[in-house]
Chains A and B, each alone.
Chain A
Amino acid sequence: MRFRALSLAALASLSVVGIGWQMGAQLTASQQTLSAVPVAPAAHTGTAATVPNPTALGPAAPAATGSPAATTAPAAPAGAASGTFDGSVVQTRFGPVQVSVTIASGSITEVTALQLTNDGGRSVMISNQAAPILRSEVLTAQSAQVQNVSGATYTTHGYLTSLQAALDAAQF
């Protein structure tokens, strides 16, 4: 390659990679700030309230799920309704996540995944593996305060956020 071609190619490549990097950084930043936004209330009847903005996850996610926890008492409040409550639809980078929770006599008896990340075969595989783990952890903890499933960060965040919305709707 001649010097001119080499320098132009290097310049163009650096710009292209730089722009890509910048776009990626903005995407990551927006995901972090959005995940701190409170989740819209969920509906009881099965018509789910959709969160308009993608609420995917960054490192700030645990803090996001942590803040409503302060209001959710560890012991089930007396005012908690019984029944099945759909959580909000949480948009993640790999697709929407939504769960429904069944509450009977003041305790969480079942969590069902209505939608799981579906963007690409790999993310379907990951969320299918993570969902049963999350379900059993939630049933044990009786709250949305459970550990992140490693390798399934997006699914975990979407799952727990949607669950918290459902629990809020049930005034659990």
Chain B
Amino acid sequence: MSLATHPTKRAQRRTSVPRIHPNYRRRMRLADGLQIIAVVSVALVIAIFLADGGAARFGTPADAITSLGVVTGLVGTDLLLMMMLLAARLPSIDRAFGHDSAMALHQSLGKPALYLILGHGVLLTIGYSMVQPASVFAEVWIMLTTLPDMPLAFVGLGLLIAVVVTSLVVVRRRFRYEAWHLVHLLSYLAVLVSIPHQLSVGSLFREGSVQRYYWLALYVGVAGSIVLFRFIVPIVRSLRSQLVVKGVDPVARGVVSIRLSGRELRRLKARSGQFFIWRFWTPKLWWQAHPFSLSAAPTGNALRITVRGLGDASAALSALPKGTRVSFEGPYGLFTDFARTSPRIVLVAAGIGVAPIRSLLETATFAPGQATVILRSSTADDTYLVDELAHLCRVRGAELRIIAGKRSPGANSWLPADAVRARITLGTLVPKLREADVYICGPRRWTDEVVRDARSAGLPTRQIHFERFDW
């Protein structure tokens, strides 16, 4: 705790350093706690193995391989459960890291978890076959026929491979979102069917042991979180809010603002810049759910989103009839004023990324002259909500900069080719950038370039906030 108070004192002495927002400290404490729990959970499963006398079972090559196989299975399963929690929309995880970072972490854990589980299968098969002795292939057959619940465990492994392979970026692009999502849901089944063999084959989780209760509690906790936060909470909120489409305003070709009205919306505690996953109950659209950000500050009875319909949903969204029922999951995301650390603010948007930027501009805390809005587009025509942005900037005292022009092919920059030649960067565009929080929303690759520019201008990670859209 003494560590935590130390930087505050230093910051107060050196007045030139901007005061860090108290929200940030609270958020970081939560983030630290969650990260510590995650790391310790891995240590705990290793400790369970060791407490069972595992350290003594490395004497022979067969024993060592078998023991290693047990450990990889334990750690791999722990990672799988962690991934499921990261995707379970836990409020504390969203508040600490934001949905975007949580899902990025979820994604980056996928391959390690699969490798560990694969290693578990391979190592144990080899270890068992050395004792038998039998060939590895014969051993697989022996395991399937003589050990309890092994066929299910092999099915689980197969499903897991399918889920991870379809999620590799290259493969994923070939699928429709809905198809990919359906395959992804199989991971729940994969985890479920692998539970019996964990309890029946080994003796680590033998009946009546403390380990068995801990292990089962992990599963119950994760399953409970998923059911509660992915199903019950969204259903209850949707039913209570009674959201309906109040009107659809055309913004540009293929882009519309959808106004929604409902009741008791304050109870959602939604903030400007957050997104919901929406479902519009029309015959054509009800089976799809889309993440769209709020493009106006939420009120007690109205929400507004601005969307660019992608593909076949485009026409259907602009033709949404008045009174269409809307259900939703959310609000999610840390792309809000809650994540602020500094007095100044810079909002950078490209394309439809302007939606959350527009709502942030409406309610973010800043004094006149302390905010800059940068709107980036290929041509001066494909910018959305410019009139609204210009109006808000005038009212709130923010500077608006529209930067149009094509990026030069192959150049790694978020700015047009001529701006790159003129050595323009985020640092030259924005005065006192180091004292500002930068919010960036746009397509993935473009966003990554802005983030890189902000980092090279010396901005610490805590001052860079971004939301990237693609699924």
Q: Which residues of A contact B (CB under 8 A)?
A: 1-2, 4-5, 8-10, 12-14, 16-17, 19-21, 23-25, 27-28, 31, 58, 93-94, 119-123, 125-126, 150-151
Given contacts A4-B3, A9-B35, A151-B62, contact A125 B51 (CB under 8 A): no
Once the chains bind, are B131 and A151 in contact (CB under 8 Å)?
Answer: yes
Say if the beta carbon of B268 comes within 8 Å of chain A.
no
Are A25 and B55 within 8 A (Cβ)? yes
CB distance from B293 to the nearest CB of A (A): 28
Contact present for B43 and A16 (CB under 8 Å): yes
Q: Which of B144-152, B224-232, B353-361, B391-399 is found at the contact surface with chain A? A: B144-152
Residues of B within 8 A of A1 (CB): 32, 35
Chain A min CB distance to B125 (Å)? 12
* Total A-B contacts with CB atoms under 8 angstroms apart: 96
Stretch among B196-204, B284-292, B320-328, B417-425 lining the A interface: B196-204
Residues of B within 8 A of A27 (CB): 51-53
In the bound complex, residues from chain B placing their C-beta under 8 Å from that of A13 are: 39-40, 42-43
Query: Contact check: which of A4, A119, A121 meets B147 at CB < 8 Å?
Result: A121
Indicate which residue in A2, A20, A21, A123 contacts B28 across the interface (CB closer than 8 Å).
A2
Considering the complex, give the chain B residue whose CB is closest to the CB of A56.
B53
Complex: A25 Cα to B47 Cα, angstroms: 12
Residue B46 is within 8 A (CB to CB) of chain A in the complex: yes
0/1 string, B195-218, CB within 8 A of A gives 1 = 001001111001000000000000
- Which residues of chain A are within 8 angstroms of B46 by Cβ–Cβ distance? 17, 20
| Residues of B in contact, count (CB < 8 Å) | 37
Would you list 22 pairs from A and B whose C-beta atoms are within 8 A, ordered by A residue?
Answer: A1-B35, A4-B32, A5-B31, A12-B39, A13-B39, A13-B40, A16-B44, A16-B47, A17-B47, A21-B50, A27-B51, A28-B53, A31-B53, A94-B203, A119-B203, A119-B206, A120-B200, A121-B148, A121-B149, A122-B202, A125-B146, A151-B132
B56 proximal to A (CB < 8 A): yes
- Knowing A5-B35, A12-B36 touch, does A121 contact B52 (C-beta < 8 A)? no
Which B46-99 residues have C-beta < 8 A from chain A?
A: 46-56, 62
Q: How far is the CA of A34 from the CA of B42 in the complex (A)?
A: 32
**Cα–Cα distance between A27 and B147 once the two chains are bound (Å):** 27
Give Cα A94 to B204, complex, Å.
10
- CB-based nearest B residue for A152: B131
Nearest CB of B to A14, in Å: 8
Query: Which residue on B lies nearest to A59, using beta carbons?
Result: B59
Quote the shortest CB–CB distance from A20 to chain B (angstroms): 3
Against A, the Cβ 8 Å flags (1 = close, 0 = not) of B135-164 are 000000000001111000000000000000
